Amino acid sequence: MEESDDFVVKIKDAKKMLRFVQLEKVKQRLRNIPANAISYVEFVRICGDVCESKEHVLEFSKALDDSGVVIVLGSVVFLRPNQVAKSMEKLISQSIATPNDPRRKELAQLEKQKSTIDQKAQSLVQRELYFGLGFLVLQTLGFMRLTFWELSWDVMEPICFFVTSAHFAFAYAFFLRTSNEPSFNGYFQSRFKVRQKKLMHIYNFDLERYNQLCEVFYCKHA
């Protein structure tokens, strides 16, 4: 009876050693893969090349995941858990602001630079609007002179009609191009964005970095 028990124990030990050797083979094959992640299908195939049965394949894949050798997330298997942990730690630290965070100073500088850019963009757009006002005043005065002194209303009526139609066509084209309401405010906002974008390019303003910092400290975008 004792010999039978010893024999059973030896078989269990042998199976345990075999399982350990197979696991080490799988680990070694995974270490030799240069990529940081592979598909779950490929991961199962690698386990299957070493294991004898499908049950052992699933057992090995679960054991490797539970032990932290790999990280299985859906259909992707990460082979470098330490790198994933470092990336997550870095991401979390970047997304949480502290009172003495040096990025506050960087954000303050970007906000100051953006404020200067916005003021210049607004000034340029207002200049465009003043030019537009001047053009409309001159056009009205010109039409008045042509109507009452140079020509007659019979001649100017179709001209005024076509000019008005042209203004409507320009407003319609503005709406098609910008998807903004063809109003003075809509024109201002559209031209402001264009001027702002050009000035940001001229001054090398990092808008993406600015939005990242705003999301960290204010949870908003520009």
Q: Give just the sign of the alpha carbon dihedral 57, 63, 65, 70.
A: negative
d(CA 21, CA 145): 101
Average pLDDT score, the chain = 78
Flag whether pLDDT at 54 surpasses 70. Answer: no
Predicted model pTM: 0.53
What are 176's two structure tokens?
């098609």
d(CA 204, CA 142): 44
d(CA 137, CA 215): 46
SS3 78: strand
Flag whether pLDDT at 88 surpasses 70. Answer: no
Length of the chain in residues, anyone?
Answer: 222
The whole-number pLDDT of residue 91 equals 59
**Crossing angle between the packed helical segments 153-178 and 184-202, to the nearest 10 degrees:** 50
Q: Do 107 and 213 meet the contact criterion of CB atoms below 8 Å apart?
A: yes
% of residues, the chain, pLDDT over 90: 17
Contacts of 47 (CB under 8 A, 6+ apart): 26, 57, 60, 61, 64
The whole-number pLDDT of residue 1 equals 46
Comparing 98 with 117, which gets the higher pLDDT?
117
pLDDT-derived band at 193, boundaries 50, 70, 90: very high
% of residues, the chain, pLDDT over 70: 77
Beta bridge partners of 73: 76
Q: Which amino acid is at 82?
A: N
pLDDT-derived band at 185, boundaries 50, 70, 90: confident
pLDDT in tens, 5-52: 444 446 666 666 666 676 777 777 777 777 778 888 787 787 777 666
213 burial type by CB count under 10 A (0-12 exposed, 13-18 middle, 19+ buried): buried
Flag whether pLDDT at 2 surpasses 60. Answer: no
Nearest residue to 78 (alpha-carbon basis) of 39, 49, 28: 39
E strands, the chain, are 37-39, 71-73, 76-78
The whole-number pLDDT of residue 126 equals 93
Comparing 165 with 1, which gets the higher pLDDT?
165
d(CA 67, CA 165): 75
Average pLDDT estimate for 134-157: 86
Q: Do 145 and 156 meet the contact criterion of CB atoms below 8 Å apart?
A: no
